[in-house]
Amino acid sequence: MRRRALPALDWFRLAAAILVVTIHTSPLSSLSAGADFWLTRVAARIAVPFFLMVSGYFLALHHWQHLRNFLGRTLLLYGAAILLYLPMNLYSGSFSSVGWLRAVFWEGTLYHLWYFPALFWGTLLSWLLLRLGNRCALAGAIFLYLIGLGGDSYYGLAARLPALKQGYDLLFSLTEHTRNGIFYVPLFLLLGAQGIRLRTGTALTGFCLSLVGMSAEAFFLHSLDAQRHDSMYLLLPVCMVFLLALLLNGNRCRSHAARDLSLLVYLIHPGCIVAVRVLARLTHSWDILVESSLPYFAAVLVLSLSAACLLYRIRPLPVNPKARAWREVDLGALCHNANVLEQAAGPGCALMAVVKADAYGHGARVVARALFKTGIRTFAVACLEEGIALRRAGIRGCILILGWTSPEQAPLLARWRLTQAVADTAHGAALSRTGYNVHVHLAVDTGMHRLGIACEDVEALAALYRLPGIQVDGIFSHLCVSDSLEGRDVSYTDRQVSAFRTVVERLKAQGISPGKIHLLASYGMLNRPEKGFDYARAGIILYGVYSDDSPVCFRPDLQPVLTLRARVAAVRELASGESAGYGLAFTAVRPTRIAVVTIGYADGLPRDLAYHGGQVLIHGSFCPMVGRLCMDQLMVDVTEAKTVQPGDTVTLIGRDGNAVIRAERVAEQCGTITNELLSRLGHRLPVVALHQSGRS
């Protein structure tokens, strides 16, 4: 008999959040002090350790690879909670400036918010302890927990020894509780990370017995008046190991609703407590709503759950980037390519990452951020808007605009600290008259006759260095036929290189420091052994592809970065002789299965790709495109791919299993180069970053 799929962990999250509400409302206090003590100071104390253990379990499940994201989300939630309760803090005036800093960084700015800084610091400490090995980490966490135990439920006993009392008193001058990120959190995180599995009967029996034992422990300590606080018991970790094992046995799926509602209840219930008390005052029902513990708890719980459900209902829902068509960008391959090209450039020559045209269709922000983390500090774009977008994405260092920018835009060049290429002498003069100190690189025309000051006019170049209002930080040129190994083209490139070197030497002879010097772009790096430059401008080859399959002198170990994918929307059966698509351009010559794929020419694909042998990969098999590409869909023949069904992933560029569709091949089919093909990929194609091993 198939067992029903239950989200046991997520359902218990919600139960744990309700237990936290009981701690702060004491539901049984007006009925029985003993029963309320057991509910709120014993049974409900499993709630927070459960949250911690689940966090440790999922962190370990992914080998702690998501630690940075986890810590970032924790701080984001904590910051939102601080802002949410800031009016209450200001109204109460409960913190001095020093006390506020201590509350923010350590204790929490409201009584339930201690959890977030404790989780942050405790997770960091757990990760550091794991550097010592699993056993040492657990031993260290147990040791810290025992110290914390003496400052919590066992404080009255520990304080009987003068030396221990002095130690704990010193500790309490630094932190209000030992229920914090040092003594309390690491043990439960690391126990959760173990993911201990036990038989259901064993786990249930162990949980019940340990809960009974913890209850006896709590009442015994309570009778001795030993508890300074009551969050930490000797048997609590034992109880939690059995509880998590029991829940793991019943856990078959996830419930995002229960998970999110538990977090919302935890965050907002103190505000609901205040709301209920205010309502009781306004309606003169204090005796019923507050003094009577069960109605008080019920009112707070109902309001908390209702508010949580409302917030959950109106929450922003993220769009799945893989729902229709998308670009996968392998950042591991990108960083590998950057490292290979930096080594190829040689000592003293840094890589200038060319990320124009949305990083050749790879997503400029994602690419630039990844490269920045590897140490690259110089980027090139085509226009002002691209440069500003990089700055807004947090990219520092030099961003060189290779294209023309109107001098009227000089305020923006200065504000965003962008470096502008000087297109000609008039452009440089106009930039200098704007009144803004604009950083520039001088473009030298060595024979391409596009942008730049003629290489023969060295005096004009020298004059630009002396102009006020612009700061010349570098000089460069561009090789127009360096991608060709034909004798005539090689000779032309030789003349360009010689002309550029002559310009630089003549400037130096006049006592002018030319600044950063750069000449080689992608194919210059592949076909020219030139040295002595400060930058190498890596464009298309940075992304692991070549413009085409023309021969090159040097073919480095590069890895393709981009994979283009889409989905199968529908599968149609065509009888022999039936036609499909615009203009009925495809006619089946046999019974045929046609898959409709969710990508079209509006996403950047050439409209005539199907007529030039266009193919896709589905389940690792090649399937030919048929008919005319539509704006938003295309059709492929999947007659031989028997298992294709709606929702399947389709690969248009990249690898699927052992089969590959190379970008160079697709560009060749369309009579163009990869530079154009990839740069045309539309902005409505989301970028999904793969960090390593194909994981997004």
Distance between CA 303 and CA 688 in Å, rounded?
A: 39
Q: Is 2 exposed, middle or buried (0-12, 13-18, 19+ CB in 10 A)?
A: exposed
For the chain, state the CA radius of gyration: 33
356 annotated active-site: yes
**Could you tell me which residues come within 8 angstroms of residue 430 by beta carbon, excluding any fewer than 6 positions away?**
407
Query: Residue 650: what are its φ and ψ, rounded to 5°?
Result: -115, 130
Q: 532 vs 338, 347, 426, 456, 529, CA distance in Å?
A: 19, 9, 30, 21, 10
322 annotated active-site: no
Can you tell me which residue has the tokens 């590959």?
A: 660
* Closest-CA residue to 471 (of 508, 511, 426, 516): 516
Percent composition of the chain: helix, strand, coil (DSSP 3-state, to 5)? 50, 15, 35
Distance between CA 168 and CA 550 in Å, rounded?
A: 75
**Could you tell me which residues come within 8 angstroms of residue 483 by beta carbon, excluding any fewer than 6 positions away?**
523, 527, 547, 550, 552
Distance between CA 319 and CA 170 in Å, rounded?
A: 51
Q: Please answer whether residues 663 and 677 qualify as being in contact, where contact means their C-beta atoms are separated by less than 8 angstroms.
A: yes
**Could you tell me which residues come within 8 angstroms of residue 591 by beta carbon, excluding any fewer than 6 positions away?**
573, 574, 575, 576, 639
* Closest-CA residue to 150 (of 236, 223, 229): 229
Catalytic position from the list 356, 360, 492, 516: 356
Where in the sequence numbering do the catalytic residues fall?
A: 356, 582
